[in-house]
Amino acid sequence: MTRRMFLSGSAALAAAGPRMVFAGRAEDVLEAKPAAADLGHPGGAKTGIWGYGGGTPGPVIRLKQGERLTRRFVNNLPQPSSVHWHGIRIANAMDGVPDITQPVVPPGGDFLYDFTVPDAGTYWYHPHNRTWEQLARGLYGALIVDEPNPPRVDRDEVLLIDDWRLGQDGMIHEDSFGSMGDWSHNGRLGGFVTVNGRSDYKARARSMERLRLRLVNTANARIFTLGLVGMTGWVVALDGQPLAKPEPVTEVTLAPAQRTDIIADITAPEKTANGGGEAFIYGRFRDQRIALCTLTVEGAARAGALPPPEPIATNPLPPLGNLGKAKTALLRMEGGAMGAMHEATFKGQRMGIRELIGHSRVWAFNGMAEMPKTPFLTARLGETIRIKMENLTAWPHAMHLHGHHFKKVGADGTTGPFRDTLLMQPEETAEIAFVADNPGKWLMHCHMVEHSASGMMTWLLVS
Ligand code: C2O
Ligand code: CU
Output the CA angle 422-173-39, nearest 5 degrees.
80
Interval 430-440: pLDDT, tens = 999 999 999 99
SS3 string of 73-116? EEECCCCCECEEEECCCCCHHHCCCECCCECCECCCCEEEEEEE
Cα of 401 vs centre of ligand 2, distance in Å, is 13
pLDDT, position 275: 81
Atom of ligand 1 nearest to the CA of 257: 1
Burial of 413 from C-beta contacts in 10 A (0-12 / 13-18 / 19+) = exposed
Quick check: 349 and 408 in contact, CB under 8 A? Answer: no
Interval 71-83: pLDDT, tens = 999 999 999 999 9
Q: Name the nearest CA neighbour of 189 among 125, 142, 256, 130.
A: 256
Closest residue by CA, ligand 1 atom 1? 86
Tens of pLDDT along the chain (463 residues)? Answer: 232 222 233 333 333 344 444 444 546 999 999 999 999 999 899 999 999 999 999 999 999 999 999 999 999 999 999 999 999 999 999 999 999 999 999 999 999 999 999 999 999 999 999 999 999 999 999 999 999 999 999 999 999 999 999 999 999 999 999 999 999 999 999 999 999 999 999 999 999 999 999 999 999 999 999 999 999 999 999 999 999 999 999 999 999 999 999 999 999 999 888 887 999 999 999 889 999 999 999 999 999 999 999 999 999 999 999 999 999 999 999 999 999 899 999 999 999 999 999 999 999 999 999 999 999 999 999 999 999 999 999 999 999 999 999 999 999 999 999 999 999 999 999 999 999 999 999 999 999 999 999 999 999 999 9
Q: Is 443 in the pocket of ligand 1 (CB under 6 A)?
A: yes
Q: What distance in Å separates the CA atoms of residue 382 and residue 63, rounded to the nearest whole number?
A: 28
Ligand nearest to the CA of 257: 1
Closest residue by CA, ligand 1 atom 3? 86
- pLDDT above 90 coverage of the chain, percent: 92
- In the structure, ligand 2 is a single-atom ion and the residues with CB under 5 Å from it are 397, 446, 448, 451
pLDDT, position 274: 83
Q: Is 86 in the pocket of ligand 1 (CB under 6 A)?
A: yes
